[in-house]
Structure 1
Amino acid sequence: MSIAVMDVRLEFPTITICTEASRPGTAANGINRRLSSKKWFRIDVMIRRKRRPGAWTGYAAAMCAFIFAVPSIYWGLGGKFGADTVGRMAVELSWRDDAMIMMVVLLTGLLKVAGGLFALALVRPAWPRLPRWMMLMGGYGAAIVLVVYGGIYGLLQTMVALGAVEVSVDFDWHSLYWHLYLWSPWFIVMGILLGLAAWHYQSSTVSERT
């Protein structure tokens, strides 16, 4: 007696599930890529936001500018105290009471006040501002000028103080030390603070645009 054995094979079709979001070449996949890149961009912005200088840099730069403007405005209005810290020529000019010279000195003081207001505008979003590129150019440009100016004069004054440069017998050492220890470092510090405030503005405006 023989029993026939039937070979039965059940084959189930392979079903591939492909959603619209993962199908290559679809609009949804492009949207996902854009969302992913935007997510990473936001993370990068958050990291840069943590690394950027604080708003205190703008306030410190403004304070330096306002304090720096006080003697200029004082001398421009006819004051004479402290003019010897700038140099003998400044003393002579202050005693002449020349209206043109006094106006130039006064305008110099007002320009420093404007610089302080500009430093505040870099860190205060509510204040009216110029276009972004002008704010950055003004902030970084002024910072470079201040640091280079103070650095060059500070280097020359240091060389004179160390005897590396010969000077006349009647050289004004009094004003030299005032420039060396106050005026030149003040330019450098104010320039550095203004540059940091411009960096803060640059980082914060990038965050606002995302």
Structure 2
Amino acid sequence: MTVAARIRREPFAYAAYGTCVCTAAYGLMKLAQALGANALADKDPLPPDLRQRLLARDPLFVTAHWIMFAVAVVGVLVALATVRPWGERVPRRILLAVTWTVGGFMVLRAFGPVGYGFVGDTLVLTGLQPPPGGHTELARELARWDLLLWSPFFLVWGLLWTATAWHLTRTGRGRGRRPA
């Protein structure tokens, strides 16, 4: 059966493929940053001292970008394993644990009950949470970027992960998979 036919038969497969697209986009951004491109690094919501190290290409951050790129590659493979026939060889419990955990953390990051996210950004922009001394304008700019770009991206990405997990939970081993 072709991928298009499988998607028509299993509409939640769109979630897995959407997860792949978001994961690949994030991974490619991290690869570009590891190779020296700015690629939105100046919009990363970090405390001022860490932001300076990031923009100065501190070896710790370059290494972190390479690691995040590798994690993104694994993420693409995990998402694909939930809908592709070769994924039947991956233990279902591992797929469920990874998809639910990653989805939950991303949704939590998007809302940001502590730090950045919809809540944290709103607190900074309304003045209810004071930004670090001497960095008020930078904190507000980064909060705006996070509120308009990063938090919605992490929310959509997290919801795609959780929809993928939910579909995998609901279907069991719908393609002939053994129960967990």
Q: Aligned in 2, Cα 1:147/1:110: closer, same or farther, shift over 3 Å?
A: same
**Cα root mean square deviation, aligned:** 2.4
Match for residue 20 of structure 2?
62
Q: C-alpha displacement at 1:66, in angstroms?
A: 0.8
- Are 2:42 and 2:55, in contact at CA under 8 Å, matched by a contact in 1? no
> Which residue of the partner structure matches residue 71 of structure 1?
29
Aligned residue number for residue 84 of structure 1: 42
Counterpart among 144, 151, 158 of residue 177 in structure 1:
144
Residue 117 (structure 1) shift: 2.0
4+ residue runs of structure 1 moved beyond 4 angstroms? 87-91
Name the CA distance, whole Å, in 1 between partners of 2:37 and 2:51. 10
1:202 to 157, 169, 172: 169
Alignment-derived partner of residue 5 in structure 2: none
For residue 65 of structure 1, report the CA deviation from its aligned partner: 0.9
How far off is 1:94 after superposition?
4.0
Q: Which amino acid aligns with 1:117?
A: L
Which residue, out of 109, 125, 135, partners 1:161? 125
2:165 is aligned with what amino acid?
Answer: A
Match of 2:150, SS state, is: helix
Conservation of the 8 A alpha-carbon contact between 2:81 and 2:90:
no
Residues 129-140 of structure 1 mapped to structure 2, 5 A cutoff? 129-140=89-100
Count of paired positions: 159
* Cα distance, 1:183 vs structure 2: 1.0
Q: Could you tell me which amino acid in structure 2 is paired with residue 165 of structure 1?
A: Q
Contact 2:19–2:160 (Cα < 8 Å) also in 1: yes
**CA-CA distance at 1:133 after TM superposition:** 1.2
TM-score in terms of structure 1 length = 0.66
Q: Report the secondary structure of 2:82's partner residue.
A: helix
Decide which of 48, 55, 67 is 1:107's aligned counterpart: 67
Query: 2-side partners of 1:197 and 1:111: how far apart?
Result: 18
Q: Secondary structure at the match of 2:85?
A: coil
- State the distance in 2 between where 1:81 and 1:162 align: 28
Distance 2:171 2:84 in 1: 10
Worse overlay, 197-206 or 180-189: 197-206
User: Residues of 1 paired with 2:134 and 2:148: CA distance?
Assistant: 22
Distance in 2 (CA, whole Å) between partners of 1:157 and 1:95 is 22
